[in-house]
Amino acid sequence: MSTQFSNDAVKEVSRVRTTPPPMYKVLLLNDDFTPMEFVVEVLQQLFHMNREKATQVMLQVHTQGHGVCGVYTKDVAATKVEQVSQFAKAHQHPLQCVMEEN
């Protein structure tokens, strides 16, 4: 704590501890219709993964039913979910993307 003097009065300045914002996982969900190559493309373009990492996540989606694309603050995660939804819809694929608190 520090003490500041102003106009002959002593004013205590307290330090406020801020907590980091809650983080959210962005997940792709498996379906029987979206091609694997399209999922890899989504991961490369929207999540900036290299081909090897995108392929690993795509296989996780395929085998486990979902895969983690990244962990972000709430606003960024919501934007990523919307971007995936719009991109999939524009390419006529039913790919689903959701977010959940980490």
The residues spanned by each domain of the chain are 26-99
Tell me the CATH number for domain 26-99.
3.30.1390.10
1-10, 18-27, 34-43: range with lowest mean pLDDT: 1-10
pLDDT in tens, 51-89: 999 999 999 999 999 999 999 999 999 999 999 999 999
- The DSSP 8-state label assigned to residue 34 in this structure reads S
Distance, CA of 82 to CA of 78 (rounded, Å): 6
Q: Would you say residue 12 has pLDDT above 90? A: no
Which amino acid, residue 49?
A: M
